[in-house]
């Protein structure tokens, strides 16, 4: 009857995250596990292509890097990216807490700043 379609729920949840509060795939998967979605469904969602958005005119981020950039833009709310290492580290940790891996965080911050910098962000292990 389709009353408890875990795949549809997982797709809907991921789309809502992309639309309203972009998170890394790791955090979205953790949220789905907390809501009782079976591991097989999460793996299927991970393997599927990004589903068509409910509103075709709306552009949702398609890649992890795009999601991180949207999350950073929303976090900064139009303010410029700070240049001091401590502030950059805080912003990096904000993105890591949102489920983005450290390498994605580094490349997003570097891309947002428009230059390569030694930003003092945590290594892959931390």
Q: Which helix (H) or strand (E) holds 92?
A: helix 85-97
- The number of beta carbons lying within 10 Å of the beta carbon of residue 42 is 20
66-104 pLDDT, tens per residue? 999 999 999 998 899 998 999 999 999 999 999 999 999
pLDDT band at 126 (very low <50, low <70, confident <90, very high): very low
Q: Is the pLDDT of residue 54 over 90?
A: no
Mean pLDDT of the chain: 82
How far apart CA 1 and CA 35 sit, in angstroms, is 21
Sorted by sequence, the CB contacts under 8 Å of residue 109 that are 6+ apart come out as: 72, 81, 88, 91, 92, 95, 119, 121
Q: Is the pLDDT of residue 123 over 80?
A: no
């Amino acid at each position: 009857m389709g009353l408890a379609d875990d795949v549809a729920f997982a797709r809907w949840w991921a789309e809502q995250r992309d639309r309203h509060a972009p998170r890394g795939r790791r955090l979205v998967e953790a949220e789905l596990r907390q809501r009782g979605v079976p591991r097989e469904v999460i793996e299927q969602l991970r393997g599927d292509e990004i589903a068509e958005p409910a509103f075709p005119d709306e552009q949702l981020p398609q890649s992890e890097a795009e999601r991180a950039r949207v999350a950073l833009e929303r976090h900064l709310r139009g303010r410029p990216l700070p240049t001091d290492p401590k502030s950059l580290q805080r912003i990096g940790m904000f993105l890591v807490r949102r489920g983005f891996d450290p390498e994605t965080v580094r490349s997003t911050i570097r891309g947002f700043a428009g230059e390569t910098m030694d930003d003092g962000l945590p290594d892959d292990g931390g």
